Amino acid sequence: MEQIAKMSQNLGITHCRNKDFRWGERTYVMGIINLTPDSFSGDGLGGDVATALSQAKRFQEEGADIIDVGGESTRPGATQVSANEELRRVIPVLERLSAEISLPISIDTYKSEVARQALEAGANMLNDVWGLKQDLKLAKLAAEKSVPLILMHNQQGTSYQQFIPEVMASLKQSLKLALDWGVAWENLIIDPGIGFGKTLEHNLEILRCMEEFKTLGRPILLGTSRKSLIGRVLNLPPQERIEGTAATVAIGIAKGADIVRVHDVAQMVRICRMSDAIIRGTHQPGLPQHHNHEV
């Protein structure tokens, strides 16, 4: 743990494919490609390679920085799929995406065998929703391939004695496991895990207290897009949660988020750029300009 404390002074630069992530300069946007038939958000594409490619290209044009590809639903009550089924869904898509888009591609999996074949097929980043608690070989793989690794907090059930301290302790343990296996400090990203083993009140508390996670010394990924905390607060179905998502993204950036994982890329890129201009004092040119007279 002392190693983490010493390293937490500088987030550094994370290199991934052809991109340098310079943490703190701006917020990066990760666009979600769900290759499941049972996504909670209603955007699951199954194994439709052509549609996935079209969506990824659109995300790239809309300003996404990373494409996140997943082949197993993580919605509450979802049926676990085999590694073979997950591979059947993701590999053809990864092969096409890596050949036809220039963005870094993340594979959303907690299975090391899926991750290994995904990297061979063109993925450049690992996104582990179990933070190495299900398959420690993911750390070995990330170290061997020198790729970024996202470590998310996740647990079965919603029972906590001291919620934020316990989430932070779990993330710190995931970081230590990764470091012990040789993953470079600059390649580690943390995710407090909105929705995974947490109640509505827990999720809202994470958003209120996100600054505390900055003490772990790594970039923070925030994944609130269309999730049930928004549905419960606003009483809306997933497809009508864009404004609620926007609120969580803007507040998340103000509280320290470095990456936001989203379904609605075009809208959230605008939210990020406006929030960055206010919070970080940075302006990113490149969005279509509409010249109106201001009064």
20: left (phi over 0), alpha (psi -120 to 50) or beta: beta
Q: Tokens 């676990």 appear where?
A: 80
Q: pTM of the entire structure?
A: 0.91
Catalytic site residue from 133, 198, 241, 261: 261
pLDDT digits (tens, 9 = 90+) for 228-252: 999 999 999 999 999 999 999 999 9
Q: What sign results for the dihedral spanned by CA atoms 279, 282, 287, 293?
A: positive
pLDDT for the residue numbered 5: 47
Does 261 participate in catalysis according to the annotation? Answer: yes
**Which of 256, 259, 131, 111 is closest to 197 using CA atoms?**
131
Identify the band that residue 7 occupies on the pLDDT scale cut at 50, 70 and 90: very low
Given 198, 227, 241, 273, which residue is catalytic? 227
Q: For residues 92 and 49, is the Cβ–Cβ distance under 8 A?
A: yes
List pLDDT tens digits, range 168-206.
999 999 999 999 999 999 999 999 999 999 999 999 999
Q: What pLDDT does 45 receive?
A: 63
Give the pLDDT band (50/70/90) at residue 279: very high
Predicted local confidence at residue 46, as pLDDT: 60
Lowest mean pLDDT among 8-12, 40-44, 97-101, 124-128: 40-44
> Which domains are present in the chain?
25-279 (3.20.20.20)
214 is catalytic: no
